[in-house]
Structure 1
Amino acid sequence: MPVLEVRRHTMRSKPGQHLSQQGVTLASLIGNSTGPFDLVWTSEKPRAIETAIAMGYTLTRQSAALGNLPKSILDAVAWPNDLESISKIVRRNNACERFARAQAEEWRSIAGELKDNQSALIVTHGAIIELGAIGFMPNATYSTWGDAIGYCEGFRFSQVEGLETCELLRVPSHLQLIHN
């Protein structure tokens, strides 16, 4: 059964585009507790590429779609925002709904390259990851998903008995000092 893991990039040294030392440390620790992955996709932005590398993975491909979010969509979802609120915005806002569906299709296309028992990692960005997950799982109970996705957090999608499942991946409590 193929597995698709989607994570937000780690911390960077703002306003720069490259990871901070804390970000490299967090990504390395998360990378040690996940994988291996047969495919690794990132956006074209340095912070996503560097996150995958800091996690210990070699990139397979990059996709502009994994990193391009129109400002109008970002503003509409009021990110950072909890997933239930974003899901309500997606239901009311046609542009957000189209973006969520398009992002989910990008993820499904990547997952479609997997054979049974293979897995893929996608490293993307805040707001994009929440919208993509809502598009990927349109009938989920978002109230259980909580706050916006933090650095190195994300989702693991798989199929169990023919049904798509979604596991929320949060940074473990013992890593919260690095995460903040």
Structure 2
Amino acid sequence: MRWLDVRRHSLTKKGTARGRGSHLSADGVALARLIGAGAGPYERVVTSSSPRAVETAVAMGFAVDDTVEMPSGYVEGVIPKHAQWEWAAPYARFAEIVRTGGVAAGVAEAHRAIWTDTVGGVPEGGTALLVGHGGGIEFALVACLQEDSHASWGAPFAHGDGVRLGFADGRFVSVSFQRAPRSRCERRSPTPL
């Protein structure tokens, strides 16, 4: 068995301080450090090419081996940005959207392929880390575990939330959610990326 830990990037700067690529805020660095203290070791670390994803892995304490362009999970005309926060059973809804095919299914498959390649690059018994984005992670999860009980998976990915997937015989076989600690001022709802 191989393992893949997937995390949504940490908290970012807001307003004019945001900058191109949404760099991490001081709270985001602190959250990533807290998460990183209980994570790893990793044989391979892959992130989105976005600065906020790279900075999350580094703040967690892990060098980035590779960056990958990841398509947005917010598909125009299908899923408005942060719509998953309004859905009663977000993963069941993502699975339903994937089953209908089209562009959204292509996004889910692109993410699943990135995840498979990432975990495939570690030895048997090893673990890889992938840092990505809300919307894309949810799509990838339902694509990786199509037969699972999606309605029982809970809330979409907030900043720093993670999941550990078991990978055997060329496919994902298990899932365990790892929710990040929440600060007093942070909501479990979307904030602009």
TM-score, length-normalised on structure 1?
Answer: 0.88
Q: Which letter does structure 1 place at the counterpart of 2:184? A: L
1:8-157 alignment to 2 at 5 Å? 8-15=8-15, 16=18, 17-65=22-70, 68-69=71-72, 73=75, 76-78=78-80, 79-81=82-84, 82-157=90-165
Measured in 2, the distance between the counterparts of 1:123 and 1:88 equals 25
Measured in 1, the distance between the counterparts of 2:77 and 2:155 equals 17
1:52-108 Cα offsets, whole Å, 9 max, x none, are 01111111111113xx3275x165234341222222222224211121112101110
1:21-49 Cα offsets, whole Å, 9 max, x none, are 11111111011111111111001111000
Gap runs ≥5 in structure 1: none
Contact preservation (8 Å) 2:109, 2:143: yes
- Between the aligned residues of both structures, percent identity stands at 29
3-state SS of paired residue (1:76) = coil
Contact preservation (8 Å) 2:35, 2:60: yes
Measured in 2, the distance between the counterparts of 1:21 and 1:138 equals 37
Moved over 3 A (4+): 159-163
Gap runs ≥5 in structure 2: 85-89, 188-193
Which has the larger helix fraction?
1
- Paired residue for 1:171, among 180, 186, 189? 180
How far the C-alpha of 1:14 sits from its partner, in A, is 2.3
Number of aligned positions between the proteins = 175
Contact preservation (8 Å) 1:2, 1:115: yes
1:153-174 Cα offsets, whole Å, 9 max, x none, are 12111148997111112124xx
TM-score, length-normalised on structure 2?
Answer: 0.82
How far the C-alpha of 1:148 sits from its partner, in A, is 1.2
Measured in 1, the distance between the counterparts of 2:168 and 2:121 equals 19
Measured in 2, the distance between the counterparts of 1:38 and 1:179 equals 32
- Root mean square deviation, CA, Å: 2.2
Contact preservation (8 Å) 1:103, 1:128: yes
